[in-house]
Structure 1
C-alpha cells in the first residue's frame, strides 16, 4: 500500500484483542491480528517490542542485473571467493532482450572490498566481475545500477507478542550465500496459514494464543537449525586454512557423487 507505520496501539474490544496502526498518510488500520512481514528492518517488530539476537557479518551484498557475452543456458553459478560468495541467477527471457544473456547477481563481499566495488564505474565493475566469475558465460558486457545492503544475522527470541506475529525476514535474517531466506519465509507463511485454518475448523479466532503458539513452536526450531547450518557454511567457505579447504572440497565432492544424499539435502533446504 506504500504506507509507513508510525504508531501501534493494542487494546481489548468486545473481549478480543485489537491493534490499531497509525500510518504516515494519516490513515488508521485496525485488525485483531497483525502479521508483520515487513522485512529485516521491521518497523512493526520494533513497535510491538520484540527482542532479537543479532550481529553483523562484516560484509555487504551488492545486487544488480548483468548481461553476459554468451548465453547462460539457464545455468545458475556460484563462486566462493576469499572475500565472500558470488551468485549468478539466470533471468527469464523476454521478447525485447537477447535470449538467455541476463542474470541477477548477489555479490557478498567483506566491507572494504564491497566499498571498493561500489566506488568504481561500470566498466571497472564489469571487469572485476568477469575476473571473479573466471570468464563464465563469456564475461560481463553490461551491468545495471548497483545496490548495496549490509549483511546481518538477526533472529527474534519470540515470533508472537500478544496479537502480533512475525514471518519471514521480520522474524529471521540469514546470510544469502545459499538463498535460503526466501524458503524459510514461505515455510513460515505456510505454517501460519495451516494453523489459522485448523483453528478456524475448531471455531477459534485467528489471533487465539493457542494458534499463534503452535505456529511459533513449528517454526523456531527449523529456522534456528537452518541458520546454524548457513553460519557453518559461511565460516567454512571463508576459512583459508589449507587443511580446512581440502576437507571442505572433499566433503562437497563426496556429496555431489552420492545422489541420494544430495537429493536429501536439497529436500531439506526446500523444507519438504
Structure 2
C-alpha cells in the first residue's frame, strides 16, 4: 500500500529535521525518512565529538521552529568573541607585537548579546526531532533507508528498503554529502579534495567556561578552540572544550596513533599560547576536507538542501548555517507555491530556490577557499597580504563588523566590499 504525502524528506539530520518541522508548521503533510534511529541525549555523558557554531541567524530560525528552547534545555555554550590570527613565522615576527596580526570580533561592537552558540550536533538534531514530533502533519519513519525513487508528471514515489512506498509531489534530499537521493535523481557534482584533514579532539581544561572561540593559522593549517560547558561537580574547576587541528593526512595519522598523554603534550606545544591548560582528552576523531557543489539543486520532483547540495571548507563553521538558510528559503518558497495553487515541484519555484541559494552558497564557498589558500602557505607575498588584511580589519572596525554581521546571519546581504572582492575573483569551474 502506498502512503500519500505532500512532501517526502530523505535525511533526518539537522537540516532535514528543520525542514520537516518548518513545513509541518505550514500545514504540509510531510514524511521524514532516515535509516538512523532517533537521536538520544544523556546529560551525564561526555559531549558529542561533532559540534557546530550556530550563528545568531540560525538561532532565530530554530526559535521560529520551536526547537531552540528544547536545545537550550539540554546544553549550549554562547560565545561573545571570535578571534583569528596568523601564527606563521616571518622575518619580522620578533620585531612586531603579536597583536599586530590579531583580529577579534566582539558582540559589543555588533550591538548583540552574543555572536552565536557552540552546540553539539546531536543536541541540535534532538531538539529538532522533538519539534518535528510535535507537528501533527509530520510522520517520522526512522530505521528505513531509501532503495528507489521514481518520478512521473504527477508525483514521485519513494520506495523504502522494507518495500514501503511513499508518494509525494516533491522529494527533498537532505541526506548529506554522500547523498543517495542526489545520485538517484541523476544530479552530478563537482568536487575538490583539500590536501589537509581535520582532527577533532574533545578535551577538559582547567578554568571557567570561556566566552571566546578562536583560530590560529599555521602554514600546515589552522588550529581552533571552541568552548563547551562546565565539566560539573565530578571535575571541579574544569570545563569542556573542542579542539580542531588541520594538517596533512600523514601528520593527522601520526597524531591519532599517540596515547592521550603524548597527544596532550603535542597539543600544548603546537597550539597558540591562548589555549588553556588541558587536563584530559575525552575523545578524538578525524575526517578529510572536501568542497563539493551540486551541478543543479533540483531535477524533476527532487530538490536538494544542505550538504546534499554543497559542502564547504569548515574553516569558519558556516556549513550547517548555510544548510539552515537553504531550509528557510525552500520552506518559504513552497509556502508561496501552495498559496498560488501551484505544483510544489514547479520549475518556477524550484528555479527561484536555486537562483537565491546558489549565489549565496557560492559566495561563502569562494570566500572560504580564498581564506584557505591565503593562509595555508609560507609564500612571502601572500604572507604580507594576509597580515595587511588582518591589520586593515583591526583598523577598520566598521567594515569588519559588517562582515561579521553577514556571517552571523544578522544581515541578509554581504557588505559591498565583500561582494566586490568575490565578484572580481576568477570563477572556478566547481562553482
TM-score (norm 2): 0.59
Secondary structure, aligned partner of 1:138? coil
Aligned partner of 1:187 in structure 2 is 325
The equivalent residue for 1:74 is 211
Q: 1:121 to 1:94 in 2, by over 3 A?
A: closer
Show the counterpart of 1:37.
174
Match of 1:258 in 2: 396
Distance 1:227 1:253 in 2: 24
Alignment pair present for 1:88 and 2:228 = no
Q: Is 2:186 the partner of 1:49?
A: yes
Q: CA deviation at 1:200?
A: 1.8
The Cα RMSD (Å) is 2.0
How many residue pairs match? The answer is 269
Deviation of 1:105 after TM superposition, in Å, equals: 2.1
Q: C-alpha distance in 2, partners of 1:241/1:126?
A: 30
Aligned residue for 2:187, secondary structure, equals: coil
More divergent stretch after superposition (175-184 vs 88-97): 88-97
* Kept in 2: contact 1:88–1:106 (CA 8 A): yes
Question: Which structure 2 residue ranges, 5 or more long, are not aligned?
Answer: 1-33, 37-142, 412-431
The answer as to 2:150 corresponding to 1:10 is: yes
| Cα distance in structure 2, aligned partners of 1:166 and 1:54 | 16
Separation in structure 2 between the aligned mates of residue 248 and residue 241 of structure 1, nearest angstrom: 11
Distance 1:26 1:87, change over 3 A: farther
Query: Which residue in 1 is equivalent to 2:274?
Result: 136
CA–CA distance in structure 1, aligned partners of residues 236 and 212 of structure 2: 16
- The answer for the alignment partner of 1:114 in structure 2 is 252
Asked if the contact 2:173–2:181 (Cα under 8 Å) also holds between the matched residues in 1, the reply is yes
2: CA distance, partners of 1:100 / 1:227? 36
1:178 aligned to which of 316, 323, 348: 316
Counterpart selection for 1:166 from 294, 304, 323: 304
Deviations 1:197-235 (A, max 9, x none): 111221223222221111011011111111111110000
Q: Which residue of 2 aligns with 1:60?
A: 197
Answering whether residue 382 of structure 2 is matched by residue 235 of structure 1, we say: no
